Amino acid sequence: MTTRFQYVDTKLGQLHIATQGEGFPLILLHQTPRSWDEYRELIPLLAPHYRVIAMDMYGFGQSAKFPKPHTIEKFGEGVIALADALGIQKFNLMGHHTGALVALETTAQNPDRIAKLIISASPYTDAAYREEHKDGDGVDDAPISEDGRHLMENWAKRYPFYPQGKPEILNRFIHDSLNFGVDPLDGHQACARYVIEDKLERITPEVLLIAPTEDPFAFPQIEKFQRALTKAKTLQTAVIEGGMIPLMEEKSPEVAKAVLKFLNT
């Protein structure tokens, strides 16, 4: 079984996807400023059980771009546009970091179309978060410079949050951040602008929260989600010990185990 790639014509333009497997669809959404590649290791672990579709979200990777400012709502429109173009009415949905917010937004707007929802390492963008991040996200604030020093600056800012001894993972992040039309900073500002409070009570499907213990941005927020998702049909939490921001690349077997346990019950 191999991963296949294609461009899908949608009402928003062409969206790029990687797909593998057959059966009930599972759409995967990446973090800023990644692409389908974030799920490279995870896809073959899930594909024997589901039709896995990892998209370059609208505005990222090789998918169609749209003018700034980016918004979580606009990213979510891309998910539904893709599903419509593929003739998929109902599907499982999973997102990591920014992708988790997009998955949440997509579900809030289209609860009848999401069978099960997986939220991995999501920021909790309440009023306190929005105030703290209103001036931008320093981790990706590296303006282009003529001598190229922004490349090293971008690497240095991300390095503390990536596993030592595995520079190839961070290299993949840098590669995605350099795609034409991709602005890592604006993608995170979209998170900082997102009003999450009135969306959580609209989440009604079964939900799995994935909590990587070494992710300093997401792990402390998990209890807020547990308290807020009161309308979810069921709510489960899977703690991934040692998981960092690049969770999908580094801990794909652990993630796959948690995801399949949730989806198969």
The pLDDT value recorded for residue 143 is: 78
The pTM for the full model equals 0.96
Alpha carbon of residue 204 to chain centroid = 20
The pLDDT value recorded for residue 137 is: 60
The pLDDT value recorded for residue 217 is: 93
Q: Quote the CA–CA distance of 94 and 208 in Å, as a whole number.
A: 9
Alpha carbon of residue 193 to chain centroid = 16
Burial of 116: CB neighbours in 10 Å, binned 0-12, 13-18, 19+: buried
Positions in the chain whose pLDDT score sits under 70: 136-139
The pLDDT value recorded for residue 37 is: 99
| pLDDT, tens only, 26-58 | 999 999 999 999 999 999 999 999 999 999 999
Residue 38 near residue 61 (C-beta atoms within 8 A): no
Alpha carbon of residue 111 to chain centroid = 18
In which region does residue 143 sit, left (phi positive, over 0), alpha (psi from -120 to 50) or beta (all else)?
A: beta
SS3 105: helix
Q: Quote the CA–CA distance of 234 and 205 in Å, as a whole number.
A: 7
Helix-helix angle 149-158:167-177, to 10 degrees: 130
The pLDDT value recorded for residue 186 is: 86
Three-state SS string over 180-205 comes to CCCCHHHHHHHHHHCCCHHHHCCCCC
Domains of the chain: 4-263 (3.40.50.1820)
The pLDDT value recorded for residue 92 is: 99
The pLDDT value recorded for residue 64 is: 98
Question: Would you state the torsion angle of the CA atoms of residues 116, 118, 122, 127, taken in this order, to the nearest 10 degrees?
Answer: 10
